Structure 1
Amino acid sequence: MKVVHRKDAKALKGDRSLSYQVISPDNVGSRKFLVTVVDIRPGGSTPVHEHRTVESMYYILEGRGQVTSGREHKVLGPDTAVYFPAGSTHGIRNVGKARLRYLSCHAPPYEIEDLYRSWQAHETLVTTGG
């Protein structure tokens, strides 16, 4: 068993977001999936993007987020999950007045730093924790 606290996880920081890689190949050796906890402040978002060979899902923990996939837009709240097949576009924007927190899960895992680097105008790579 491997336990990871959010404060010890690698973090990727954006203008209004912070993503913690709580389960990844780097910290626990996972080979089949990647889990991040994402916090987005009001008005913040992750750009619409795709993973050609990776299935993804979001599970909303707190707040309200407008999820975009293709031409669809849906506002989701706590205790709601959304699935994105491999190759589909997806992104999320905090449309509430409080923090949006969600789990983002991907299978198989991918180099999340590469995705954030592709958003250079939007995100900056940082490291936190041990």
Structure 2
Amino acid sequence: MEYKDILTAAKYSTEKMQKINLFETRNFFCDIYCLEPGQEQKVHAHHTEDKIYLVLEGSGEFIVDDESIELGENKTVFAPAGSNHGVRNRSESRLRLLVFMTPNPNFSS
């Protein structure tokens, strides 16, 4: 059985948002995204993959298509395949997210 400690896995950089892979198969991946204040994941789209963001620490502005919402700890956001989505840390604190995507785009044919 594989397991990870999401507190010790988190890594931050003042240069850019960090993505740390926890688990990955052909069918999905699970990452931790770590954003310092002012950092963002630019709005983008995945044509065939669904994404879920879960806020572990801090708060962020989540964008899905024409909507945006500020969410804090223990809140989750769904970005369906084809949607334009991203996240911004507009707070003065760190933002840590657990992110799931399926199917895994790293194994797309």
What TM-score comes out, normalization by structure 2 length?
0.85
Distance 1:15 1:35, change over 3 A: same
Q: Which of 65, 69, 82 does residue 64 from structure 2 map onto?
A: 69
Cα distance per residue 1:25-53 (max 9 Å; x no partner): xxxxx222100001100010001011100
Q: CA deviation at 1:111?
A: 2.3
Contact conserved, 1:58 with 1:104, CA < 8 A, in 2?
Answer: yes
Residue 15 of structure 1: how far off its partner (Å): 2.6
Identity, in percent, stands at 30
- Who is 2:39 aligned against? 44
Stretches of structure 1 that go unaligned for 5 or more consecutive residues are 25-29, 113-130
| 1:76-91 equivalent positions in 2, closer than 5 A | 76-91=71-86
The Cα RMSD (Å) is 2.3
Structure 2 match to 1:21: 21
Match of 2:2 in 1: 2
Q: Measure, in 2, the Cα distance between the counterparts of 1:84 and 1:99.
A: 22
The aligned amino acid for 2:75 is T
SS in 2 for 1:37: strand
TM-score (structure 1 length as normaliser): 0.72
For 1:111 and 1:4, how far apart are their aligned partners in 2?
21
Q: CA deviation at 1:64?
A: 1.0
Using the TM superposition, give the Cα deviation of residue 87 of structure 1 relative to its aligned residue in structure 2, in angstroms.
0.6
Distance in structure 1 (CA, Å) of the matches to 2:71 and 2:98: 13
Report the count of equivalent residues.
Answer: 105
Give how far 1:71 is off: 1.3
CA distance in 2, matches of 1:16, 1:54: 24
